[in-house]
């Protein structure tokens, strides 16, 4: 049994997740975590809300409340959404949890003592009216490269360039609009240059990192790694533990990365076995997999390993990074301000979570940017879920219920077609599993559909509804085989559609839960003749024929009724 930590990127708590976030960092890791558990692997699946830093501080100031009050509300709202999407986190926590805070402080002190951190005076914009420094998003102005007027101190959202706050033309304080002055302040830097060679070898010779990760990092290596400031003058954050750093906090990016470790520690602490987190993070055989958006690659492939190396402890370094390209929405980028896209809470008002989970996996942008369209969604729900998977399950169960009194019939001797079908079922878990292990989740979902299509083809070929009168033995064999194929589907669907798979398990009259079944049990044909099933009913519902034309209207009605935590922006 292998040990795994499945790490889902920590969403920034004031950005409600939209479909793109869901597929990159929420549903994908859940599919993998569920699959590995079914395979009997030892899995810890962690994530949490990234809640410190400038944007929350800005937001809370605008609302006139304490940052903690704001993040309490946002964290519980987002956590509940993920629960509704059936995301099987072992621990979905937050950066304000005391275990994380202590872990981060101790960790950074270790790096400091090992000589990787130094301090230096830097000039930063300062608002004399608000009496605060204005790094990152506290300051706005015109981008010196592209002329975009709302560029931030850390980045221009228009041309994507990283900026220094002092580069901005006509800079303004985001709170009061005043023109900032420049003031000298002391900051602490993580000296990445000392680890350059080790990091370069780690990334470029990595056995599992995909080319996309290596290419992205190579751009950083070519420019040369530079020391990065790891402190900020924000009040809202984890106090920097370094001597002389009173009033400074750790930059969110650096502390949130350690959340994967502290969340594992917190999980085992809550179970009264605090030391067990070391069996994962300090175990060279443990595999850590990170699900992130592609813009976060350098932080996970370079900065996190750098911190782990600098600690001097033998932490396990990232085993795999699964980042995807961008998901577009009807040809455009998701935009909250322009109302383009669908957000997690809205999505659930339109369709059950399984429909979204499966559709998004099928549209997962694994090799290039992909476009979500309502037309595709409609096709996936109606043709794939209903006409393909749902139809096979319902036809098989209804037939057994109607013609065999709800008891799985006995097989006779299998003919060539039966044998071939049996082999199809037996090979399905391996075929689908292989793609999941390669993090090609879209191909895995396609393999599931292909399997279900073959089930339908076999049923159509055998026509038990016609043959039952002339050849009962043949029909009995067919239905014994397809009943076992339904059981296989129930297990193989679990990582993608946990609710529907459990419903199929229940209709099959099976004991316990599909969530604790074994992946390769799908190939076992252990549904015995005489086994009693329950009264069948359809697993999925079709979307109405005018769905594509009416969904945007439905969505705007949903939007007006949602009770989200209030944000100032």
Other CB atoms within 10 A of residue 154 CB: 15
> Using the rule CB under 5 A, which residue among 80, 169, 176, 219 binds Zn ion?
176
Q: Is position 146 an interface residue for Zn ion (rule: CB under 5 A)? A: yes
Q: Which residues, in sequence order, are CB contacts of 196 under 8 Å at separation 6+?
A: 221, 224, 225
At residue 289, what are phi and psi to the nearest 5 degrees? -120, 130
Other CB atoms within 10 A of residue 565 CB: 17
Q: Is position 528 an interface residue for Zn ion (rule: CB under 5 A)? A: no
> Using the rule CB under 5 A, which residue among 76, 120, 150, 159 binds Zn ion?
159
Nearer to Zn ion, 176 or 333 (CB): 176
Interatomic CA distance for residues 402 and 404, integer angstroms: 6
Window contacting Zn ion (CB under 5 A); options: 80-88, 172-180, 408-416, 531-539: 172-180
Q: Is position 173 an interface residue for Zn ion (rule: CB under 5 A)? A: yes
CB of 54 to Zn ion, least distance (A): 13
CB of 240 to Zn ion, least distance (A): 23
Alpha helices in 438-471 (DSSP H): 441-462, 464-467
Chain-centroid distance, C-alpha 160: 24
Nearer to Zn ion, 127 or 321 (CB): 127
Integer angstrom CA distances of residue 157 from 96, 169, 569? 28, 15, 17
Nearer to Zn ion, 158 or 373 (CB): 158
Q: Is position 148 an interface residue for Zn ion (rule: CB under 5 A)? A: yes
Applying the rule CB under 5 A, the residues between 399 and 458 that interact with Zn ion are none
> Using the rule CB under 5 A, which residue among 12, 77, 175, 319 binds Zn ion?
175
Interatomic CA distance for residues 112 and 311, integer angstroms: 9
Q: Is position 465 an interface residue for Zn ion (rule: CB under 5 A)? A: no
Q: Is position 397 an interface residue for Zn ion (rule: CB under 5 A)? A: no
Sheet strands (E) in 181-264: 181-190, 228-229, 231-232, 249-250
Window contacting Zn ion (CB under 5 A); options: 139-147, 198-206, 437-445, 486-494: 139-147
Interatomic CA distance for residues 513 and 490, integer angstroms: 10
Interatomic CA distance for residues 179 and 366, integer angstroms: 44
CB 318 within 8 A of CB 288: yes
CB of 156 to Zn ion, least distance (A): 3
CB of 138 to Zn ion, least distance (A): 8
Window contacting Zn ion (CB under 5 A); options: 173-181, 346-354, 379-387, 460-468: 173-181
Report the SS3 class of residue 334: coil
* Torsion angle defined by CA atoms of residues 72, 342, 376 and 449, in that order, rounded to the nearest 10 degrees: 10
Nearer to Zn ion, 156 or 256 (CB): 156
The helix, strand and coil proportions of the chain, stated in percent and rounded to the nearest 5, come to 50, 15, 35
CB of 57 to Zn ion, least distance (A): 13
CB of 55 to Zn ion, least distance (A): 16
Q: Is position 168 an interface residue for Zn ion (rule: CB under 5 A)? A: no
Report the SS3 class of residue 449: helix
Q: Is position 143 an interface residue for Zn ion (rule: CB under 5 A)? A: yes
CB of 148 to Zn ion, least distance (A): 5
Nearer to Zn ion, 159 or 545 (CB): 159
Other CB atoms within 10 A of residue 103 CB: 21
Nearer to Zn ion, 154 or 446 (CB): 154
Interatomic CA distance for residues 460 and 456, integer angstroms: 6
Q: Is position 145 an interface residue for Zn ion (rule: CB under 5 A)? A: yes
Applying the rule CB under 5 A, the residues between 99 and 138 that interact with Zn ion are 127, 129-130
CB of 162 to Zn ion, least distance (A): 10
Q: Is position 169 an interface residue for Zn ion (rule: CB under 5 A)? A: no
CB of 168 to Zn ion, least distance (A): 10
Task: Record the tokens describing residue 474, joined without a space.
Answer: 């043949």
* Site size with Zn ion, rule: CB under 5 A: 14
Q: Which residues, in sequence order, are CB contacts of 295 under 8 Å at separation 6+?
A: none
Report the SS3 class of residue 134: coil
CB of 155 to Zn ion, least distance (A): 9
Q: Is position 155 an interface residue for Zn ion (rule: CB under 5 A)? A: no
Nearer to Zn ion, 149 or 313 (CB): 149
Nearer to Zn ion, 150 or 336 (CB): 150
Residue 511's nearest CA partner among 100, 249, 521, 359 is: 521
Nearer to Zn ion, 26 or 127 (CB): 127
CB of 394 to Zn ion, least distance (A): 55
Residue 427's nearest CA partner among 361, 494, 497, 524 is: 524
Which residues bind to Zn ion, rule: CB under 5 A?
127, 129-130, 143, 145-146, 148, 156, 158-159, 173, 175-176, 178
């Amino acid at each position: 049994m292998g040990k795994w930590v499945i790490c889902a990127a920590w969403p920034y708590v004031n950005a409600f997740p939209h479909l793109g976030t869901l597929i990159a960092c929420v549903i994908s890791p859940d599919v993998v975590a569920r699959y590995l558990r079914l395979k009997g692997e030892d899995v810890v699946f962690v994530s949490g809300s990234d809640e410190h830093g400038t944007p929350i501080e800005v937001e809370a100031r605008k609302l006139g409340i304490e940052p903690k009050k704001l993040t309490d509300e946002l964290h519980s709202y987002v956590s509940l959404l993920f629960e509704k999407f059936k995301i099987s986190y072992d621990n979905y926590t937050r950066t304000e949890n005391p275990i994380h805070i202590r872990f981060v402080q101790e960790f950074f002190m270790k790096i400091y003592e090992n000589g990787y951190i130094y301090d230096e005076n830097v000039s930063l914009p300062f608002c004399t009216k608000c009496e605060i420094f204005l790094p990152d998003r506290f300051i706005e102005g015109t981008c010196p490269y592209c002329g975009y007027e709302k560029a931030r101190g850390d980045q221009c959202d228009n041309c994507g360039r990283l900026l220094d706050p002092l580069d901005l033309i006509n800079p303004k304080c985001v709170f009061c609009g005043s023109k900032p002055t420049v003031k000298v302040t002391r900051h602490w830097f993580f000296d990445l240059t000392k680890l350059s060679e080790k990091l370069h070898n780690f990334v470029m010779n990595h056995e599992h990192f995909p080319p996309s990760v290596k290419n992205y990092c190579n751009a950083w290596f070519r420019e040369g790694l530079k020391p990065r400031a790891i402190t900020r003058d924000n009040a809202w954050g984890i106090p920097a533990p370094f001597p002389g750093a009173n009033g400074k906090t750790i930059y969110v990016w650096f502390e949130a990365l350690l959340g994967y470790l502290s969340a594992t520690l917190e999980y085992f602490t809550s179970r009264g076995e605090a030391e067990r987190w070391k069996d994962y993070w300090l175990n060279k055989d443990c595999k850590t997999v990170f699900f992130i958006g592609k813009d976060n690659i350098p932080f996970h492939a370079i900065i996190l390993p750098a911190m782990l190396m600098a600690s001097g402890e033998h932490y396990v370094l990232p085993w795999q990074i699964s980042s995807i390209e961008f998901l577009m929405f009807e040809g455009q980028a998701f935009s909250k301000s322009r109302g383009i896209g669908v957000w997690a809470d809205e999505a659930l008002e339109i369709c059950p979570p399984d429909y979204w989970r499966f559709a998004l996996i099928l549209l997962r942008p694994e090799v290039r940017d992909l476009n979500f369209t309502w037309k595709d969604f409609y096709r996936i729900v109606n043709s794939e879920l209903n006409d393909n998977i749902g139809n096979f399950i319902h036809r098989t169960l209804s037939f057994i219920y109607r013609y065999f009194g709800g008891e799985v019939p006995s097989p006779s001797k299998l003919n060539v077609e039966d044998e071939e079908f049996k082999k199809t079922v037996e090979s399905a878990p391996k075929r689908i599993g292989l793609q999941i292990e390669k993090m090609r989740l879209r191909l895995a979902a396609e393999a599931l559909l292909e399997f279900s299509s073959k089930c339908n083809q076999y049923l159509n070929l055998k026509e038990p509804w016609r043959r039952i009168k002339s050849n009962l033995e043949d029909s009995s064999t067919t239905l014994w085989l397809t009943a076992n194929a339904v059981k296989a589907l129930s297990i193989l669907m679990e990582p993608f559609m946990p609710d529907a798979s459990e419903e199929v398990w229940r209709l099959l009259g099976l004991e316990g839960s599909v969530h604790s079944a074994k992946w390769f049990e799908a190939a076992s044909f252990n549904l015995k003749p005489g086994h009693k099933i329950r009264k069948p009913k359809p697993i999925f519902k079709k979307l109405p024929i005018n769905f594509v034309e009416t969904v945007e209207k439905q969505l705007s009605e949903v939007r007006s009724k949602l009770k989200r935590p209030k944000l100032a922006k």
